[in-house]
Amino acid sequence: MKKLALSLLCISSSLAYANDDLDMANKIRAEGFYNSEVMHTLEQLTDSIGPRLSGSPQMKKANDWTLEKLKSWGLENAHLDPFEFGRGWSHDSATINLLSPREVSLHGIPVAWTPGTSGEVTGEVIIFDAESAADLAQYKGKLKGKIIMMGQGKNIEAPENSVFKRYDSGELSKLKDFDVSKGPSHSPWISADRRDSAMQRYNFRQTLNRFLKEEKVAGVVYRSWRQGGLINVFGRDHRVGKTFPVPAIIIEAEHYNSLSRMIDNGHTPKLSLNIEARFHDEDRNAYNTIAEITGSDENPEIVMVGGHLDSWHASDGAVDNGAGVAVSMEAMRILKALDFKPKRTIRIALWSGEEQGLFGSASYVEENFATRPKPSDKNERALPYYLWKNQGWPIETKADYEKFSVYFNMDNGSGRFRGIYTEGNVAAKSVFSSWFGPYSDLSTGTVTNKSTGGTDHESFDDVGLPGFQFIQDKLDYGSRLHHTHIDSIDHVVEDDLKQASVIMAGFLYKAAMAEERMPRKPMPKDISALQKKKLALKSDKARIKRDKEANKAKAINAVKN
C-alpha cells in the first residue's frame, strides 16, 4: 500500500507540474495573441528610427530606445554594454547620373565606411579589372580623375519563379538527416585549407586601397549582385586606419551592365557622383542592449534570448533583424506582463556589430563566459580574427560559464518558427520536442541535429555553451530582402511574428523553470595532429592549383599585350 501511495503521489505531482506548464502556456498564448505589441515595437525600430548601421547615430538611438522600452516593462539591470568597434559612419544622400553618351539618373547606394565626395564630382568611366597586385601595373598613371567600375558586367540569368516560400513537409523531413561530412558547429568561418587564399584577398585589398589613393581615383562603382533593380549593400573596413580611401557606390546590375556595354561598343561614358557621407569618430565603441527578469534562486543560472539590433544602411532593417529584436522583446514583455517569477534569470541581449562579424555577441561572451588565447604574433593579432591561424586553444572559462543554461536566437527573417537546430546537441533534441508540445498547433516542431550559421548563437556555441537558432519559414528573406534597399516592414507577416513571440516566450519559460540546465556538448577543442596534416596537404594542393592558374593568366595577358 505504501508503494502504491507513493506511486500515486509521484503521478499526481507530475500531473500537477504538467498542468502548471499548460496553464502557463495558455496565459502566454492569450497575452501573445490578443495583447500583442510586437508590431508596435517593430514600427518604432523601422519607421521611427530606421537603418541601424553599427556605430552610427541611428544605432545609438536604437540602443537608447530599446533600453528605455525594456525598463518601462519592468525589466531589471538594464544597461548598455560597450565594446570596441571602430569608426561610425552615416550618409544623408547619394546621386549618380550618366551625363554622356546620354543623360539619365541611375540608382545607387553608397558603400558603408567610404568617404563622401565633398560635392559633385564628374569623370570618365573605365572598367577596372584587377584581382592581384600584378594586375595593377597596367592601370598605373591612367586613373586620375576617373570613375572606375569594379569589373566587367555580367549576364543576368533567368529569374527563379519562387519569390515567397514556406517550408513544406518534405523539406522539413530532410532537415532531420544529419550530415556527417560536415565539421563541428564551432568550425571557423574560413577553414584552414582556405586560409591562404583568404589572406591573399585580404592583402590585395590593402594594396588596392593604397593604389587607388595614390592614383587619385575620383570614385568607384560596384555592381549589385542581385537583379531586377535590387541593390544589395555592404561595407568596407570600419577599423581605425583601415578606411577605404575613395567614394564608392553600388548601382543596379542593369545600370551597371548598360555602362559596360557602352564601353564595349566604343563609347566613353561620363558620370557625375555626389555622396554626402561622414564618419563619426567621437565614440569608437558600439553597444549591446542588455536587460533581465531576475531569477528567484539564491544564485540563479542564466537563460538568454536575443537577436542583432544593427542593420545595413540601405533600408529600415525590418526583417534583418528588426523582426528578431521585436520578437525577443515581445517574449520578455509577455513573461513580465504575466508577472512570471522564474527560477533562473532570463536575460535579453540585443547585439551590435553582427553584420560585420558577430562582434557584439562575441565580445559579450568573452567578457562574461569564456575567452580564447590571442595570437602571440602582433602582425597576426592585427588581422581580422577569422584570418588567425587557429581559433585559440584551450578555451578558458569564467565564473558565469557554469551558471549559463541556454541562449535562443532569432535572425532568419520574419518567418514563423517551424522548429529548431540543435547544433549537433543530440541531448537537447528530446527536450525541445517536449517543449514544442503546447504549441503543436502553431508549429511542426521539427528538431534537427544539423547546424546553422551566420548569426549570434555561434558566439555561444563556439565556446561550448548551448546556443540555438530556430528554423523559420523563408518567405522572401533570401530571394529579395536580405541586405537590400527594400527590407522594410511592408514585407513582414504580423501573424508570423506573433507565433514566434509566443513560442519564444514558451521556450524561455521552460528553460527558466527546468529541473536541470540545458544539456551541453563536449567542450570544443583543437583538431588532431592527423587532421591538421590532412588540411595542410589540402592547402598545399589548392595553393599549387592557384599558382598554375595565375601563371596561365599572366601568359595569356602577355600574348595579348
Non-local CB neighbours of 469 within 8 Å, separated by 6+ positions? 409, 410, 411, 412, 420, 421, 452, 455, 457
What's the DSSP call for residue 388? S
Q: Could you give the CA distance from residue 62 to residue 44 in angstroms, rounded to a whole number?
A: 9
Q: Could you give the CA distance from residue 352 to residue 531 in angstroms, rounded to a whole number?
A: 35
Q: Could you give the CA distance from residue 472 to residue 414 in angstroms, rounded to a whole number?
A: 8
Find the farthest-apart pair of alpha carbons in the chain and give their distance in angstroms, rounded: 100
Sequential pLDDT tens for the chain (561 residues): 545 444 544 444 344 446 779 999 999 999 999 999 999 999 999 999 999 999 999 999 999 999 999 999 999 999 999 999 999 999 999 999 999 999 999 999 999 999 999 999 999 999 999 988 999 999 999 999 999 999 999 999 888 778 999 999 999 999 988 988 888 999 887 887 788 889 999 999 999 999 999 999 999 999 999 999 999 999 999 999 999 999 999 999 999 999 999 999 999 999 999 999 999 999 999 999 999 999 999 999 999 999 999 999 999 999 999 999 999 999 999 999 999 999 999 999 999 999 999 999 999 999 999 999 999 999 999 999 989 998 999 999 999 999 999 999 999 999 999 999 999 999 999 999 999 999 999 999 999 999 999 999 999 999 999 999 999 999 999 999 999 999 999 999 999 999 999 999 999 999 999 999 999 999 999 989 898 888 888 878 877 887 777 677 666 666 655
Instruction: State which H helix or E strand residue 15 sits in.
Output: helix 2-34
Local structure of 316: helix, strand or coil: coil
Backbone angles phi, psi at 205, to 5 degrees: -60, -35
The sign of the torsion formed by the CA atoms of 45, 46, 48, 51 equals positive
Local structure of 468: helix, strand or coil: strand
Distances (CA, A) of 375 to 109, 187, 359, 386, 485: 37, 18, 18, 12, 38
Residue 410 falls in which region: left (phi positive, over 0), alpha (psi -120 to 50) or beta: beta
First to last CA, the chain: 100
Q: Could you give the CA distance from residue 195 to residue 202 in angstroms, rounded to a whole number?
A: 10
Cα angle, residue 147 at apex, residues 144 and 148 outer, rounded to 5°: 100
Cα atoms found within 13 Å of the Cα of residue 47, Cβ hemisphere only: 8
Non-local CB neighbours of 265 within 8 Å, separated by 6+ positions? none
Q: Could you give the CA distance from residue 261 to residue 98 in angstroms, rounded to a whole number?
A: 14
Q: Could you give the CA distance from residue 496 to residue 501 in angstroms, rounded to a whole number?
A: 9
Tell me the pTM. 0.94
Non-local CB neighbours of 311 within 8 Å, separated by 6+ positions? 51, 52, 53, 317, 320, 321, 322, 355, 487
Residues in the chain: 561
